[in-house]
């Protein structure tokens, strides 16, 4: 019996859905698979560049602390996950445009969102661990023909705890949702998060998904998302990553309806010995669909970045338009970035391309700015901000854009940051 099976058996009674027969059977099936296959290994191409000391270090340390009433108050249109449990005020529960259901109370109705043997791309170790140790989650659905705004805040006030969370979010026909996820663990240390979000975009719907990840540098994050896009739907995702000592993000989209669209944009900043691992994949299953996967990384000191992008065009997905771009800016001789774009095309009427570049700040541009009176440090900051601009322009939510720009300024202005080489 492996370490994960031991951990599960020891804590089974505390895990969400422990009394649910089909979920217990699913968990046992996953545990058998892990026992047969063993943990992720760099011998497998998909884990070749991952931080396996993080991936394979599975922990389960839940919180049983009861929060005071003043610790669970949220602003309008906000949900808080505190110490691995969600909290919504009664006022927000009665939001006329959004329905909220406790995941534990809805498991029977949501069985199909947990496992689908036909979706081999979801057969993933990180998602499997989320399924085994799931601690809390929500089913969220919007009303048809409505426009909505929702913020989910992830925060802990305790150290050394684990959060295994799952949200299933449905954007109904002809509706729009702006979803902002904030990660900020300033008041706690050494926490582990494993979060998995399912998105279902019905016909003519739109989702703008913004992730602002600024965990402290003692915490670790595993974040997965999967979007199913139906006819004429549009999924815009932007991930901004500045925190956590180790992060693995995996974002997948399936374009199953005609004229659907998925855009995965990301920007990430590394320093010290941070390890930031990103993967995006878009599967084109229908014709006249469009996808963009654009990620940029800024790495300093001994940080390491990974970005794997993949566009799969199935044979029936004619008139596909798919674009990938990865660019990296290395600010020190010890920082590293691994890029690997992939295209798999089985249709003949498509426009697909990819590009990948890694480099340092341009000395000629630095010289020009300094010759105009800027200091070396200010010149570097200006070029880094310009490097980020064409990713940030994809954010429609101006409040989130302001917050991200403020976080970037803080990252650039840290007193302990060295001059970039």
Tokens of 317: 């997905």
Say if CB 193 and CB 221 are below 8 A apart. Answer: yes
Is the predicted pLDDT of residue 267 greater than 90, yes or no? yes
Is the predicted pLDDT of residue 166 greater than 50, yes or no? yes
Determine the longest span between alpha carbons in the chain, in angstroms: 71
3 state DSSP class of 34:
helix
How far is C-alpha 84 from the geometric centre of its chain's CA atoms? 17
How far is C-alpha 41 from the geometric centre of its chain's CA atoms? 22
What is the structure's pLDDT at 391? Answer: 96
- Percentages of the chain per state (helix, strand, coil), in multiples of 5: 25, 40, 35
Query: How sure is the predictor about 162, in pLDDT bands with cuts at 50, 70 and 90?
Result: very high
Q: How far apart are CA 29 and CA 258, in angstroms?
A: 35
What is the structure's pLDDT at 1? Answer: 57
Q: Exposure of 5 by Cβ count < 10 A (0-12 exposed, 13-18 middle, 19+ buried)?
A: middle
Say if CB 194 and CB 163 are below 8 A apart. Answer: yes
Mean pLDDT over each residue of the chain, to the nearest integer: 92
User: Which of these, 328, 323, 359, lies nearest to 341 by C-alpha position?
Assistant: 323
Helix (H) or strand (E) run with residue 331 in it: none
Over residues 59-73, the mean pLDDT reads 73
Say if CB 179 and CB 147 are below 8 A apart. Answer: no
Burial string for 223-236 (b: 16+ CB within 10 Å, else e) reads: bbbbbbbbbbbbbb
What is the structure's pLDDT at 211? Answer: 98
What is the structure's pLDDT at 68? Answer: 58
Torsion angle of the four alpha carbons 266, 303, 196, 405, in this order, in degrees rounded to the nearest 10 = -40
Strand ranges in 174-260 using DSSP code E only, listed in sequence order: 176-183, 192-201, 206-213, 220-229, 234-241, 246-255
Q: How far apart are CA 384 and CA 116, in angstroms?
A: 42
What is the structure's pLDDT at 327? Answer: 97
What are the pLDDT digits (tens) for 388-418?
A: 999 999 999 999 999 999 999 999 998 444 4
Is the predicted pLDDT of residue 128 greater than 70, yes or no? yes
Is the predicted pLDDT of residue 170 greater than 50, yes or no? yes
Q: Provide the phi-psi class of 376: left if phi over 0, else alpha when psi is between -120 and 50, else beta.
A: alpha
Q: How far apart are CA 311 and CA 290, in angstroms?
A: 11
**C-alpha angle 67-73-74 in degrees, rounded to nearest 5:** 130
What is the structure's pLDDT at 72? Answer: 61
pTM: 0.94
What is the structure's pLDDT at 69? Answer: 56
What is the structure's pLDDT at 275? Answer: 98
Tokens of 93: 């529960």
What are the pLDDT digits (tens) for 294-314?
A: 999 999 999 999 999 999 999
Q: How far apart are CA 9 and CA 61, in angstroms?
A: 14
Report, in angstroms and rounded to the nearest whole number, the Rg of the chain calculated over CA atoms. Answer: 21
What is the structure's pLDDT at 352? Answer: 96
């Amino acid at each position: 019996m492996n370490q994960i099976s031991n951990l599960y058996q020891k804590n089974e009674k505390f895990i969400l859905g422990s009394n649910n027969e089909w979920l217990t059977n699913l968990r046992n099936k996953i545990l058998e698979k892990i026992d047969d296959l063993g943990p992720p290994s760099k011998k497998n191409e998909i884990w070749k560049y991952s931080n396996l000391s993080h991936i394979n270090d599975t922990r389960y340390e839940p919180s049983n602390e009861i929060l005071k009433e003043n610790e669970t108050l949220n602003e309008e249109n906000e949900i808080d996950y505190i110490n691995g449990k969600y909290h919504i005020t009664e006022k927000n529960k009665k939001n006329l445009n959004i329905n909220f259901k406790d995941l534990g109370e809805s498991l029977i109705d949501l069985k199909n969102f947990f496992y689908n043997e036909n979706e081999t791309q979801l057969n993933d170790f990180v998602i499997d661990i989320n399924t085994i140790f799931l601690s809390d989650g929500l089913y969220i659905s919007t009303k048809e023909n409505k426009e909505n705004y929702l913020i989910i805040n992830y925060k802990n006030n305790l150290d050394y705890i684990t959060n295994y969370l799952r949200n299933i979010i449905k954007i109904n026909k002809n509706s729009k949702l702006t979803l902002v996820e904030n990660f900020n663990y300033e008041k706690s240390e050494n926490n582990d998060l494993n979060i998995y979000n399912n998105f279902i975009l019905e016909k003519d719907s739109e989702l703008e998904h913004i992730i602002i990840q600024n965990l402290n540098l003692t915490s670790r994050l595993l974040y997965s998302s999967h979007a199913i896009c139906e006819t004429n739907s549009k999924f815009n995702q932007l991930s901004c990553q500045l925190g956590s000592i180790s992060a693995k993000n995996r974002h997948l989209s399936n374009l199953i309806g005609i004229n659907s669209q998925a855009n995965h944009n990301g920007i990430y900043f590394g320093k010290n010995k941070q390890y930031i691992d990103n993967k995006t994949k878009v599967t084109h299953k229908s014709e006249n669909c469009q996808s963009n996967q654009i990620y940029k990384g800024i790495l300093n000191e001994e940080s390491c970045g990974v970005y794997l992008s993949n566009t799969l065009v199935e044979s029936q997905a004619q008139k596909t338009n798919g674009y990938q771009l990865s660019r990296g800016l290395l600010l020190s001789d010890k920082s590293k970035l691994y890029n690997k774009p992939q295209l798999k095309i089985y249709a003949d009427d498509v426009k697909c391309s990819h590009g990948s570049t890694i480099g340092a700040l341009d000395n000629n541009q630095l010289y020009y700015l300094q010759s105009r009176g800027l200091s070396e440090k200010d010149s570097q900051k200006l070029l880094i901000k310009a490097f980020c601009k064409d990713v940030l322009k994809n954010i429609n939510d101006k409040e989130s854009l302001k917050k991200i720009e403020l976080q970037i300024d803080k990252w650039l202005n840290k007193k302990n940051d060295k001059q970039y080489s």
